[in-house]
């Protein structure tokens, strides 16, 4: 008939989806469609203006997902932001470009993913990147990098914003971190992140605009005749070819049912593959609406089971963020922008209490695994225990960073935000459909602070954050603590007092992952090492859903690399 038909359909024109769209459509013999629920935001200042981080949150280009009340974290639900635009969450995020730790990416291979390790991913970090080397002036303000760790001919502009904060901020900050035992890290993107750094961002320095995945991967190739973009179009579910009688044949998606901008429901057909890139809080829901998931959940909503896949939507992991704020002295010149991050390992954070903390977490692993498996109902104690043991080793043996503190002075208000989060929380939760109506809200439960390690880490880091503001010479620029303030959390507050305040004020760090995790099925995987959904013949997931466990960096750099690798794997299959 007249129904549109393509070789590949990509659901979600976000951070990852547009990478795949660009690379697959390089071959002019294949046709590609991208289905995106949002619109073009090329001239939305909340997207483009590099100084407006946060302004897009809560607007029409934020999906504004919401968790259920968090029973281990004070009871309140949490707002979960995600971008609804061509470019997805790369349109609304903080633009931070920081990758991961070598040891944690190397573990991907250990959980059933042949070929996924730091060295192989490094090739793709570089392939995606176009590093704009810092100018001499920017280097004076702390911008630094090592050329061998960066790409020079990829689509994504990475670098430092045009104007950067003055020396009167970065100098004292660096001296304060040194006084606290934390060295300057001149290349945090080479797999070893501990230290203080002035990080690069996804930014087009010459144009002084945010570099989102649209500007990097879509607009330069938007005229390709073999690439169609469906904007304001919401993908509801996949439809399937009739079951084949061939032995070993797996169900194959024939297309995607979408709701168009004018409210009509139609199907777009796929000859080869459907690639889900709708983000970790959406791709697992599309799988469930399409009959791939835990049969008990699907049946409850009257959805026929196409593939029994019990771990879809399980293993949800996020981090928790706390903001502290200070007033800055009037004499401080805060003109310009820059990103300052400090990465601390468990030794830095726990100091002389390290060995007792180590012993208490070692003793808790089994109990953590039992409680997590129990809360899930489908993931096993033994698989969870294996993950927790690996995470324990990363923290206490490899000593990779466990806490990140971001220092953000604001020129307009002469104020300082000190923001921090735990990089490797143990708590895990889930996301599932709550209706057979694809646009109905899901049940999202990250189980924030369910396991004691997470709050211990957060309160110790809170004390470190306060120490940064109170340690010379940076303390000379700081006037008063506004949040929490000493009347709320006193200078000698107990762990319990800190924990109570933290639970009343934390937010999601928006680094949701693992809801369709890439790992072996015994361990709870949903996709294999080719990112193909287990049990299907032609459905892949390429977005943050597949990341099996947290990375110490921020997610986009790693997602661009994953999507680049995914595109190569898809091309190789049909070559
Ligand atoms: P992404 O969300 O980018 O793409 C999914 C796309 O699918 C969206 O365009 C969406 O509209 C579309 N979609 C969803 N459902 C659909 C449907 N049913 N039909 C059609 N389309 C659909 N990372 C970082 O590296 N540095 C940083 O500074 C920050 N800061 C930060 C701040 C904030 C506020 C947030 C929310 C997140 C960050 N992050 C970040 C995290 C990072 O930006 C995020 O993890 C990735 O951009 C996610 O990329 P994905 O490709 O997984 O999904």
Tens digits of per-residue pLDDT, 231-241? Answer: 999 999 999 99
14 touches ligand 1 (CB under 6 Å): yes
- In degrees, rounded to 5, the angle at the alpha carbon of residue 30 between the alpha carbons of residues 24 and 35 is 65
pLDDT of residue 438: 97
The verdict on domain 1-132+209-318+430-448+511-575 having CATH code 3.40.50.720 is no
pLDDT of residue 162: 86
User: Of 468, 448, 446, whose CA–CA distance to 457 is shortest?
Assistant: 448
339 touches ligand 1 (CB under 6 Å): no
pLDDT of residue 404: 98
258 touches ligand 1 (CB under 6 Å): no
pLDDT of residue 88: 98
* CA distance to 202, 463, 471, 520, per residue, from 431 (Å): 29, 33, 42, 20
Q: Is the pLDDT of residue 418 over 90?
A: yes
CA distance linking residue 229 with residue 191, whole number of Å: 36
Contacts of residue 114, defined as CB under 8 A and 6 or more positions apart, other chains included, come to: 529
State how beta strands 32-35 and 227-230 pair.
Answer: parallel
Residue % of the chain over a pLDDT of 90: 93
pLDDT of residue 365: 98
Q: Model confidence over 315-331: pLDDT tens digits?
A: 999 999 999 999 998 77
User: Of 556, 472, 566, whose CA–CA distance to 510 is shortest?
Assistant: 556
pLDDT of residue 409: 86
What is the whole-number distance in angstroms between the Cα of residue 13 and the centre of ligand 1? Answer: 10
Q: Best of 19, 46, 80, 89 to mutate for ligand 1, by most ligand atoms within 8 A of CB?
A: 89
Section 414-426 average pLDDT: 95
305 with 535: CB under 8 angstroms? Answer: no
Section 321-343 average pLDDT: 86
Section 434-457 average pLDDT: 98
Which residues are tagged catalytic?
511, 554
* CA distance to 236, 311, 390, per residue, from 365 (Å): 39, 21, 10
Write phi, then psi, for 36 (nearest 5 degrees): -130, 130
Q: Model confidence over 522-552: pLDDT tens digits?
A: 999 999 999 999 999 999 999 999 999 999 9
Q: Is the pLDDT of residue 7 over 80?
A: yes
pLDDT of residue 145: 97
Binned at pLDDT 50, 70 and 90, residue 3 comes out as confident
Q: Is the pLDDT of residue 26 over 90?
A: yes
Q: Is the pLDDT of residue 1 over 60?
A: no
CA distance linking residue 188 with residue 171, whole number of Å: 18
pLDDT, greater one: 59 or 335: 59
Torsion, CA 298, CA 303, CA 308, CA 309, rounded to 10: -60
Tell me whether residue 155 is exposed, middle or buried, using C-beta atoms within 10 angstroms of its C-beta: 0 to 12, 13 to 18, 19 or more: buried
User: Of 109, 120, 118, whose CA–CA distance to 390 is shortest?
Assistant: 109
pLDDT of residue 333: 67
Write phi, then psi, for 85 (nearest 5 degrees): -170, 160
CB atoms near residue 543 (< 10 Å): 32
285 touches ligand 1 (CB under 6 Å): no
Q: Model confidence over 162-213: pLDDT tens digits?
A: 888 677 789 999 999 999 999 999 999 999 999 999 999 999 999 999 999 9
pLDDT of residue 337: 80
Buried-state track 215-244, b at ≥16 Cβ within 10 A, e below 16: bbbbbeeeeeebbbbbbebbbbbbbbeeee
Q: Which ligand 1 atom sits nearest the alpha carbon of residue 545? A: 52
211 touches ligand 1 (CB under 6 Å): no
Q: Is the pLDDT of residue 305 over 80?
A: yes
CA distance linking residue 123 with residue 150, whole number of Å: 9
Residue ranges covered by each domain of the chain: 1-132+209-318+430-448+511-575
Residue nearest to atom 40 of ligand 1 (CA): 93
CA distance linking residue 81 with residue 321, whole number of Å: 13
- Report the Cα–Cα distance between both ends of the chain, in Å, rounded: 29
Average pLDDT, the chain: 96
């Amino acid at each position: 008939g007249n129904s549109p038909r393509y070789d590949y359909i990509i659901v979600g024109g976000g951070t990852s989806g547009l990478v795949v769209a660009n690379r697959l459509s390089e071959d002019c013999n294949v046709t590609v469609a991208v289905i995106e629920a949002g619109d073009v935001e090329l001239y939305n200042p909340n997207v483009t203006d590099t100084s407006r981080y946060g302004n897009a949150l809560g607007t029409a280009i934020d999906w504004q997902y919401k968790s259920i009340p968090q029973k281990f974290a004070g009871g309140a639900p949490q707002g979960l932001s995600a971008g609804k635009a061509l470019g997805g969450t790369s349109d609304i995020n903080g633009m931070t470009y920081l990758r991961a730790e070598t040891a944690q990416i190397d573990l991907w291979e250990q959980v059933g993913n042949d070929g996924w390790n730091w060295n192989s991913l490094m090739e793709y970090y570089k392939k995606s990147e176009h590093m704009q080397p810092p100018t001499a002036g920017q280097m004076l303000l702390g911008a630094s990098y090592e050329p061998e760790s960066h790409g020079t001919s990829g689509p994504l502009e990475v670098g430092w914003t045009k104007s950067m904060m003055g020396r009167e901020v970065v100098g004292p900050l660096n001296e304060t971190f040194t006084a606290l035992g934390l060295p300057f890290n001149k290349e945090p993107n080479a797999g070893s992140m501990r230290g203080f750094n002035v990080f690069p961002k996804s930014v087009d320095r010459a144009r002084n605009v945010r570099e989102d995945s649209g500007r990097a991967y879509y607009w330069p190739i938007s005229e390709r005749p073999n690439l169609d973009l469906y904007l304001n179009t919401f993908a509801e579910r996949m439809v399937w070819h009739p079951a084949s009688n061939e032995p070993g044949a797996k169900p194959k998606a024939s297309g995607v049912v979408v709701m168009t901008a004018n409210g009509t429901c139609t199907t777009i057909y796929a000859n080869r593959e459907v690639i889900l890139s709708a983000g970790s809080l959406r791709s697992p829901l599309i799988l469930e609406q399409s009959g791939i998931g835990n049969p008990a959940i699907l049946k409850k909503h009257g959805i026929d089971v196409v593939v029994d896949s019990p771990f879809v939507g399980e293993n949800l992991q996020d981090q928790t963020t706390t903001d502290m704020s200070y007033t800055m002295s009037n004499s401080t010149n805060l003109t310009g922008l820059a990103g300052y991050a400090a990465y601390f390992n468990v030794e830095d954070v726990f100091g002389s209490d390290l060995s007792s903390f180590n012993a208490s977490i070692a003793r808790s692993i089994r109990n953590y695994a039992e409680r997590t498996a129990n809360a899930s109902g489908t993931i096993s104690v033994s698989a969870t225990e294996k993950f927790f043991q690996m995470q324990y080793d990363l923290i206490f043996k490899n000593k990779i960073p466990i806490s990140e503190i971001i220092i953000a002075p604001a020129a307009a208000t002469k104020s300082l935000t000190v923001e921090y989060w735990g990089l490797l929380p143990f708590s895990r939760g889930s996301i599932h459909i709550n209706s057979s109506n694809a646009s109905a809200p899901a049940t999202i439960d990250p189980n924030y602070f369910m396991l004691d390690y997470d709050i211990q880490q957060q309160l110790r880091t809170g004390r470190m954050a306060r120490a940064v503001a109170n340690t010379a010479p940076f303390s000379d620029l700081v006037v008063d603590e506004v949040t929490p303030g000493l009347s709320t959390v006193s200078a000698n507050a107990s762990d319990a007092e800190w924990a109570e305040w933290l639970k009343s004020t934390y937010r999601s760090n928006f680094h949701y992952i693992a809801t369709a995790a890439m790992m072996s099925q015994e361990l709870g995987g949903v996709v294999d090492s080719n990112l193909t959904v287990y049990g299907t013949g032609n459905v892949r997931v390429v977005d943050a859903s597949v990341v099996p466990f947290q990375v110490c960096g921020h997610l986009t750099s790693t997602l661009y690399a994953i999507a680049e690798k995914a595109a190569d794997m898809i091309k190789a299959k049909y070559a």
